[in-house]
Amino acid sequence: MPITDTLKMATIDDASLISRTLTRAFGDDPMMRWFFPGDSSREAGLGRYFTTIFTRQYVHHGVCERTEAGAAFWVPPEAQAKAVPDAETIQELQNILGDRASLFRDTVETAAKHAPQEPHWSLAVIGADPAAQGQGHGAALLRSGLAKADAAGLPAYLESSKPSNLPFYEHFGFTMREQLRLPGNGPELWTMWREPRHPADA
């Protein structure tokens, strides 16, 4: 039986569901496998990571939506200065990442240098449980955020480290901006951009 892709605004009470969903969604993501290289410990590490960034950052300063098997965190321009982790969150992430913390920090700094400066909606995280793949969860979440960006007359920006996801984003109007190699001989990162559309064009 398909899992419903009905969208809901995510709340702090959804932390456990969202963490489980995103842990499954990012289990094969090259960047996350680089941050959490241990096969036996990756699931626990990812779970703690997604719980931390959701409960401490995005649920307070982003637009977080979920389905029963997917989640997306968007950051509108007016919230981008607040959506960065505070000192306590940084410490918590360092504890989770262990000896990979410096790679994570360098990656965040590299990405920040290439982020657009003009006002835009930023797609911080999107993922769907692979068990529900093809049931429209990712598309529904992406479409919802893009509608908000379009309504504001603003472009949208994302970063992806999984090349197989690029055609999906291109289908929704994103175009390639840059292709980066992450520090420390890390994986590649693609940045993508989408100009706003008028309702008749969407």
Q: Please report which confidence band the pLDDT of residue 87 belongs to, taking 50, 70 and 90 as the band edges.
A: confident
* pTM (predicted TM-score): 0.93
Q: Where are the domains of the chain?
A: 8-194
CA separation for the pair 84, 61 (Å, rounded): 9
Q: Which amino acid is at 21?
A: T
Three-state DSSP state, 154: coil
Residues near 132 by beta carbon (within 8 Å), at least 6 away in sequence: 2, 3, 68, 69, 70
**Do 30 and 162 meet the contact criterion of CB atoms below 8 Å apart?**
yes
**The predicted structure's pLDDT at residue 19:** 98
- Cβ–Cβ under 8 Å, residues 149 and 155: yes
- What is the arithmetic mean of pLDDT over 61-65? 96
Distances from the Cα of 149 to the Cα of 5, 53, 181, 201, angstroms: 21, 22, 28, 14
DSSP conformational letter for 163: G
Superfamily of domain 8-194: Gcn5-related N-acetyltransferase (GNAT) (3.40.630.30)
Residue 65, CA distances (Å) to 68, 134, 183 in order: 10, 18, 31
Report residue 104 as tokens: 């994570």
DSSP 8-state assignment for residue 199 = T
Confidence of residue 1 (pLDDT cuts 50, 70, 90): very low
**Banded pLDDT at 176 (limits 50, 70, 90):** very high
